[in-house]
Amino acid sequence: MPIHILESLKAHAGHWTIGVLLLAAAVVLSSFARPILQGLILRIPFFRGGPEHVFKIAMRLRRPTQALVMITGLGLMLPVIDILRPYLSPLQKGLAVAWFVALGWLMIALVYCVEDVLVLRYDISVADNLRARRARTQMQLMRRMVIALLIVVDAGLALSVFRDSQIWHYGAGLLASAGLASLVLATAAKSSASNLLAGLQIALTEPIRLDDVVIVQGEWGRIEEITTTYVVMAIWDQRRLIIPLSWFIENPFQNWTRQSAELLGTAFLYVDYSVPVEPIREEFTRILEASKEWDKRVNVVQVTNLTEHTMEIRCLMSARNSGDAFNLRCIVREKMIAFIRENYPDAFPRMRFTATSIKNGGAGEEKPRELPAGMG
């Protein structure tokens, strides 16, 4: 090693020591990031989560916190090391950009943590989860919008590091020559902008929420995810329907859980006129009382229509949610058919034929003639 380098290292040994100590302190502090964060989270007054939620939030914050502490330690170390002074300006700018990136990473992680803490207050697994679904939908949409805003702000802060360089001049020239390109991009981004605005409308007016039961284009399913541009609907047969957000603003659709998850269900019976209604009403009540899906709100049996062949009987029932309503309707159909088959076997609608004597060319042939159900 050359003598002048050894003499330089000896002369600045104190500065090197300070720099190494600062870096070591940053490494030690970053290594204890998770337990420190867990202790701070437990001191939050309105935090109601258990140890698993504390660990989850601390793990979200651990890596961005470690990166921020390490970059800060490096930034404090650079000025005290004389051998790096010729390269101090570019190194500091590089570290400043990295520091802003780490800060943006930490801010985004904090947004997720705030959402995790608020989600603990709204449980969607309960039967009456309307308020929880409303809150979670708004939080999800707002989280995406806040993250997009943070990314833009963080990019601006990182670029501000180069305010004294030629980057601004190059950027100004690029912006001045991009008039036509901006028009093309604006036209191409029209649908994305409309979906973004539609997402804001959905967050404020709430035509749909997470876990809502909806019918879209004849498909029955639940709202599984709402992004900034599209909605994912989980269909009952495990397919997924992807729908642009703007579609829900511009087109009609059915929302079965807009005000409440409770629903009415119907089962129709088509029987002969000879069937008495009162025994059917009593059997329907017995079936409902034996079914856990019935919420005991509605129990109605009515004759809703008469045709020349059959009598239409509507069995109206209620359930806590759409899933229970579907299962209850199936149960009622099966058991009511069994009841009618056992007690009134001749009451089901059928086409009957009878032979009548019709003279055909004087031969005296008999031809069958079709009669309506319930006759002959």
Are residues 117 and 10 part of one domain?
A: yes
Q: Looking at residue 21, what is its pLDDT? A: 60
| Closest C-alpha among 260, 285, 301, 284 to residue 340 | 284
Q: Which long-range contacts (CB under 8 A, 24 or more apart) does 166-174 make?
A: none
pLDDT reported for residue 5? 42
Residue 196 shares a structural domain with residue 219:
yes
Question: What stretch of H or E contains 357?
Answer: strand 352-357
The answer on pLDDT for 91 being more than 80 is no
Does any domain span residue 28?
A: yes
**Cα-Cα end-to-end distance for the chain:** 120
Average pLDDT over residues 185-198: 59
Q: Do 79 and 32 share a structural domain?
A: yes
Give long-range contacts, CB 8 A cutoff, 24+ apart: 301-307: 301/277, 303/277, 304/268
Q: What pLDDT, on a 0 to 100 scale, did the predictor assign at position 174? A: 45
Residue 54: both structure tokens together: 């504390």
The answer, yes or no, to whether residue 118 has pLDDT greater than 90, is no
Q: Return the pLDDT at 266.
A: 92
Domain boundary pick from 93, 121, 149 = 121
Pair 241, 272 in one domain: no
41 lies in the same domain as 69: yes
In the predicted structure, residue 8 carries a pLDDT above the cut 50: no
- Report d(CA 211, CA 140) in Å as an integer: 13
Is 290 a domain residue? Answer: yes
Mean pLDDT (whole number) for 281-301: 93
Give the residue-averaged pLDDT of 81-105: 76
CATH code for position 210: 2.30.30.60
Q: Are residue 316 and residue 239 in the same domain, yes or no? A: no
Give burial (CB, 10 Å; 0-12/13-18/19+) of 287.
Answer: buried
Residue ending a domain, among 221, 255, 289, is: 255
Q: What is the mean pLDDT of the chain?
A: 74
The confidence score (pLDDT) of residue 172 equals 47
pLDDT at 303 over 90: yes
Q: What is the pLDDT of residues 201-242, one digit of tens each?
A: 777 777 888 888 899 988 989 998 888 788 999 998 889 999
The span from the CA of 214 to the CA of 254, in Å, is 5
Using DSSP, state whether 150 is helix, strand or coil. helix
Does a structural domain hold residue 167?
A: no
Is residue 34 included in any domain, yes or no? Answer: yes
Return the minimum-mean-pLDDT range out of 172-181, 288-297, 350-359.
172-181
Same domain, 108 and 12: yes
204: its two tokens = 């404020």
Among the listed residues 316, 306, 262, 310, the one whose alpha carbon sits nearest the alpha carbon of residue 284? 316
Among the residues of the chain, which ranges form H helices? 3-11, 13-31, 33-42, 51-77, 88-119, 130-160, 167-176, 179-188, 190-205, 245-250, 277-289, 322-343
The reply to whether 162 falls in a domain is: no
pLDDT over 90 at 305, yes or no: yes
Does residue 338 register a pLDDT over 90? yes
Band of residue 42 on the pLDDT scale cut at 50, 70, 90: low
Token reading at 163? 């305010």
Mean pLDDT value of segment 272-287: 92
Please tell me whether residues 251 and 270 are part of one structural domain.
Answer: no
CA angle 218, 192, 183 (to 5 degrees): 140
Instruction: Name the strands in the sheet holding 219-226, side by side, starting at the edge strand that comes first in the sequence.
Output: 240-244, 230-235, 219-226, 213-216, 254-255
Q: CA 51, CA 230: separation in Å to the nearest integer?
A: 34
Tell me how far apart the alpha carbons of residues 155 and 104 are, in angstroms, rounded to a whole number.
9
Using DSSP, state whether 23 is helix, strand or coil: helix
What's the CATH code of the domain at 327? 3.30.70.100
Sign (positive or negative) of CA dihedral 197, 201, 204, 208: negative
> How far out from the chain centre does Cα 217 lie?
19
Q: Is the pLDDT of residue 328 over 90?
A: yes
Containing structural domain, residue 293: 263-343
CA distances from 19 to 8, 74, 229 (A): 16, 8, 48
- Does residue 45 lie in a domain region? yes
Provide the 10 A C-beta neighbour count for residue 199: 25
Shared domain for 114 and 9, answered yes or no, is yes
Residue 72's pLDDT is: 77
Per-residue pLDDT reduced to its tens digit, 63-74: 888 787 777 777
User: Which residue has better confidence, 259 or 188?
Assistant: 259
Secondary element (H or E) of residue 316? strand 311-319
The domain boundary, picked from 91, 121, 151, lies at 121
Bridge partner residues of 368 (DSSP): 355
Model confidence at 281, pLDDT cuts 50, 70, 90, reads very high
Question: Is residue 188 predicted with pLDDT exceeding 80?
Answer: no
Do 76 and 14 lie in a common domain?
yes
Tell whether 295 and 311 lie within a shared domain: yes
Of 54-58, 147-151, 213-217, which one has max mean pLDDT? 213-217
Nearest to 72 by CA among 36, 100, 52, 48: 100
Mean pLDDT lowest among 251-260, 291-300, 331-340: 251-260
The CA distance from 328 to 322, in Å, is 10
Between residues 283 and 47, which one has the greater pLDDT?
A: 283
Does residue 130 fall inside a structural domain? no
Q: What is the pLDDT of residue 225?
A: 86
Tell me how many degrees the CA angle 224-229-231 measures, rounded to the nearest 5.
20
Structural domain total, the chain: 3
* CA nearest to 294, candidates 260, 337, 263: 263
Where residue 151 falls among pLDDT bands split at 50, 70, 90?
confident
Q: What is the pLDDT of residue 353?
A: 59
Tell whether the model's pLDDT for residue 153 goes beyond 70: yes
Is residue 46 included in any domain, yes or no?
Answer: yes
State the pairing for strand pair 230-235/219-226: antiparallel
* Lowest pLDDT segment from 133-137, 311-315, 330-334: 133-137
What residues form DSSP beta bridges with 215?
220, 254
The mean pLDDT of 141-161, rounded to a whole number, is 80
Same-domain check for residues 218 and 301: no
Q: Looking at residues 260-276, what average pLDDT do you find?
A: 88
Residue 121 in tokens = 């207050």
If 0-12 CB within 10 Å is exposed, 13-18 middle and 19+ buried, where does residue 26 land?
buried
